[in-house]
Amino acid sequence: MIGIIDYGMGNLFSVSKALERLDVPYFVSEKAEELMKANGLILPGVGSFKDAMERLNETGLSAMIKEFVGLGKPLLGICLGMQLLFEGSKENGETIGLGLLTGYVEKFPGVTADGGRYKVPHMGWNQLEWTQSSLILQQVEEDYAYFVHSYYVDRMDKDILLGKCSYNVEVPAVVGNGNLFGMQFHPEKSSKLGMKLLRNFTELARERVTT
């Protein structure tokens, strides 16, 4: 059973519908004690890093997420949910993140090295490139994924980089460390590639229970 964390800042509908299409059992909850019973958790996210961390901290969900990951259970952060896994962000002022992964969230500069300007946010389809193998990437071909974000993870530990794309700067697109994963794009909106990635994540959660 997959738990989707409801802290008031996630696109719960699209993630839920994707799991329904995969015929994967799931539930949505804002209660830490219920979410701890899941085999795997998805942390979606849309909006401000600062607001999201305030809500996670106020509700006790930050502590729950850290405990869940510490038990070796799989967790997947999507879009803002991936960024929250890192040390912090400068969005709307300095904000400390969950600190489960090494790296810092920065805003796209919007200016190239030669002074040209490019559009921020990074919105639309972009080509992914895998940087190392991972169970979550198993049998997933490099393809296009759908992005919507103005901030990206910088100064991160390269050992956890699984996939990237380019938007004037290198953008970490898929990260992973043990049972912890993040996707900067929206897998639930990324056609066959995204659905296969979600399938792989749910299989990892299922296998942890049955093995």
Q: Which residues are known to be catalytic?
A: 79, 186, 188
The angle at the Cα of 25, spanning 22 to 30, to the nearest 5 degrees, equals 120
Query: Do the Cβ atoms of 35 and 69 come closer than 8 Å?
Result: no
d(CA 179, CA 76): 9
Other Cβ atoms within 10 Å of 144 Cβ, number:
16
Interatomic CA distance for residues 63 and 93, integer angstroms: 22
Q: How far apart are CA 79 and CA 147, in angstroms?
A: 8
Interacting residues of 28 by C-beta distance below 8 A, sequence separation 6+ = 3, 4, 6, 12, 16
Residue 18, CA distances (Å) to 14, 21, 37, 168, 173 in order: 6, 5, 21, 30, 19
Query: Phi, psi (5° rounding) for residue 188?
Result: -70, -10
Q: For the chain, where are the alpha helices, taking DSSP H only?
A: 12-21, 32-35, 49-59, 61-70, 80-83, 191-210
